[in-house]
Amino acid sequence: MGVPVLLRFAARRTVLTLALVAGCSKAAPERPAERALPVNKPVPPLEDTSFRRPAAERIVAIGDLHGDVAATRTALRLAGAIDDKDHWSGGRLVVVQTGDQLDRGDDEPDILDLLERLASEASAVGGALYALNGNHEVMNVQGDFRYVTDDGFRDFGSAPPNEAHEREIRGLPNDQQGRAAAFLPGGGVARRLAKRPVVLQVGANVFVHGGVLEQHVDYGLGRMNSELQQWMQSPETGLPPAVVAGESGPIWLRLYSDGIPLASACDELNRVLARLNAKRLVVGHTVQQRGINSACGGKVWRIDVGLSRHYGGAPAALEISGDETRVLRPATAPGN
């Protein structure tokens, strides 16, 4: 049973109000809207493997895109994933994009459409493209529009009314109502995002936007994926699961990506990887000024290079072939 309707409206209206007060300012501090700690629930069975995919001969991971479709195409070409017509050319290649396709840029619909089409084309020839949900996807479904550009509101201005959230939507400025109709739980874009996981393991490689803790493994990685998906799909599921959207959730965590991790952080990571029978964790979320790099003895790779126009970084991607890792830049793209 969901949160009582009035409480649910009040909670989400608070988020919407904060977004309006911030005026979509880029200077507003980026932090989760909900800080509630996850409640203690029974640990799911260890045989939950819904977040796992088979090992692949070659994997390429791409970090935050933030509304820049040109940089997205560049990164996909670095991976050898698409041709000059933007169609899949990677064969059995597996591409993982670690979330934050949204906000800070003007090309959000183009990116969503491109990634969905490529996922279908890749699947048809034995490859795969997996796009994860990051904190900015979840923020938009929460109605937190602090980082949406003016064009980002216009792009979704014609979204059909979302009757389940009529009161919340009516309280917004006219130019924001279409985006709210599209993104609030049960809306058209929210249902598209609901198809994406938060955490994905491909062979011995774990991919997530922010990070994975032992408490997340205890809770169940597949369970977190499922609960977030259910929240996005239905307007009656209340607030997002706190284990995902809270400050220490896998979409917000910076334990492994902010500077040089403490020894205790690397110890935590070693325990996580051991329990998942994995060799490395790949994360985005925190812009790496020195480019893609690793920490904790190569156990975590940080791949957010700020490749969008908003940050002005140079596109790059991480290639994983068995136990070998390589940073792909324009001069090292396949075929060059």
Residues designated catalytic: 136
Question: In this structure, is the dihedral angle defined by the CA atoms of residues 34, 37, 42 and 45, taken in order, positive or negative?
Answer: positive
Rounded to a whole number of angstroms, the distance between the first and last alpha carbons of the chain is 56
Structure tokens at 210: 């922010």
| Among 213, 225, 4, 252, CA closest to 135 | 252
Residue 241's beta-bridge partner residues? none
Cα–Cα distance between 75 and 83 in angstroms, integer? Answer: 12
Dist. CA 118–CA 115, nearest whole Å: 5
Class of residue 175 by CB neighbours under 10 A (exposed 0-12, middle 13-18, buried 19+): exposed
Collapsing DSSP to helix, strand or coil, 331 comes out as helix
Helices (H), the chain: 5-22, 69-78, 108-124, 135-142, 150-155, 166-170, 174-183, 188-193, 214-219, 221-233, 242-245, 263-276
Q: What is the C-alpha radius of gyration for the chain, rounded to an integer number of angstroms?
A: 19
Q: Which residue in 257, 260, 299 sits closest to 281, CA to CA?
A: 299
| Burial (CB count <10 Å: 0-12, 13-18, 19+), residue 290 | exposed
153-to-14, 177, 272 alpha-carbon distances in Å: 19, 8, 39
Distance from C-alpha of 325 to C-alpha of 298, rounded to nearest angstrom: 9
Residue 174 main-chain phi, psi, to 5 deg: -55, -40
Tokens 């509630």 identify what position?
A: 36
